[in-house]
Amino acid sequence: MSLDFKKEEFTVEYLTPQGEKQVFPLELRTDPLTGDTGTVFRTPSPFASLRYRPDPEAASALVQRSVELGCPFCSDSLEKTATRFPAEFWPEGIIARGQARVFPNRDLFHTPYSAVLILGTEHYVEPRGFTPEVLVAGLEAAQIYFRQADRNPPGAPYQTVNWNYFPPAGGSIIHPHLQLLAGAFPTNRYRRLLEASRAYEREHGTNYWSRLIAAEKALGERYIGHTGTVCWLSPFVPRGRMWDVMGIVEGGITLGASSAQHLKDLAVGIIKILAFIQDQGQFSFNLSLFSAVAGDGSVWGLCHIMPRTTTPPIGMSDCSYLDTLLAHASTAIFPEQIAQELREYFR
């Protein structure tokens, strides 16, 4: 049985000040799993990245400013600034794996377990500068943290690895760092994915994600490629103003139970996408990696990556009432176009 990639087409019309009629197509798309809708359109939107290119000096100006402000995560400061886990949680205080370090998040408690993951000692790494070794060591440090968290009552089966890279994406510190969240409850999108995946499996007797991968591979429009056990797709209903990409970790294995090879498969795919982001002239992105949940094979691990930007000439945010209040994704670049361009990076 094929999946229902439902689209409704609309047109938007207006007259230019000179009286010339302009007609643009608009698609309302419905996610085949969750029923969430979003619009995809073709206009001269600034977010179609053709009219305004991001300022090529913006990233280096932010790096320079961060050095002037001082960095709490550079190695000479980390010893003084990093919080420590209580001895009963982790006797060494800080979890270390290679150059990666994990310690409690001092100020922001989104879930009962909130930690900071520092990827290495280098203060600035450009998007294409991350290596599989650095990302795998970071994910292994995250695994150790999540296993410890899950051993403590009431358990922490819902685990995400999150990244705000640079200020347009919500990052306050340039030094490469991620945020680990775990707890006894899922965040809203995680819950919707879980509930919908369980409902699909009950109704159809098969796993949704396996079916989605088969359907997207057969269609070939949004399938980007595989890195080992991770399938990379351009989502049918994008969430970003520009575009986004989703990696599906096949088989429903949790992050905690993933092997070094699984983590490397993820890291290799992430690095290809970060290189694409930089080649597109962008320097900021969000990433969230949702773990599969132990004892529940209905949802598979998902790694969602989205470039973020502010737009010249006044520095407009790409996040607006659409995202904060209406919760309606509206995207100026077709996911099929991005998949076609990204496929070159996965050959």
Residues that bind Zn ion (CB under 5 A): 71, 73-74, 123, 175
Cβ-based nearer residue to Zn ion, 118 or 149: 118
281 contact partners, CB below 8 Å, separation of at least 6: 49, 53, 54, 56
Q: Is the Cβ–Cβ distance between 40 and 331 less than 8 Å?
A: yes
Q: Is the Cβ–Cβ distance between 292 and 300 less than 8 Å?
A: yes
Q: Is the Cβ–Cβ distance between 175 and 120 less than 8 Å?
A: no
**Cβ of residue 305: shortest distance to Zn ion, in angstroms?**
23
**Cβ of residue 123: shortest distance to Zn ion, in angstroms?**
3
**Cβ of residue 118: shortest distance to Zn ion, in angstroms?**
9
Cβ-based nearer residue to Zn ion, 169 or 174: 174
**Cβ of residue 205: shortest distance to Zn ion, in angstroms?**
51
Using Cβ positions, the residue closest to Zn ion within the complex turns out to be 71
Angle at 190 between CA 189 and CA 191, to 5 degrees: 90
- What are the tokens at 123? 């203060």
The residues facing 177 across adjacent strands are: 118
* DSSP E strand boundaries for the chain: 6-15, 21-30, 37-41, 95-97, 100-104, 113-118, 158-165, 177-183, 223-227, 230-233, 245-249, 284-290, 301-308, 310-311, 316-317, 329-331
Cβ-based nearer residue to Zn ion, 123 or 343: 123
Cβ-based nearer residue to Zn ion, 120 or 335: 120
Cβ-based nearer residue to Zn ion, 73 or 223: 73
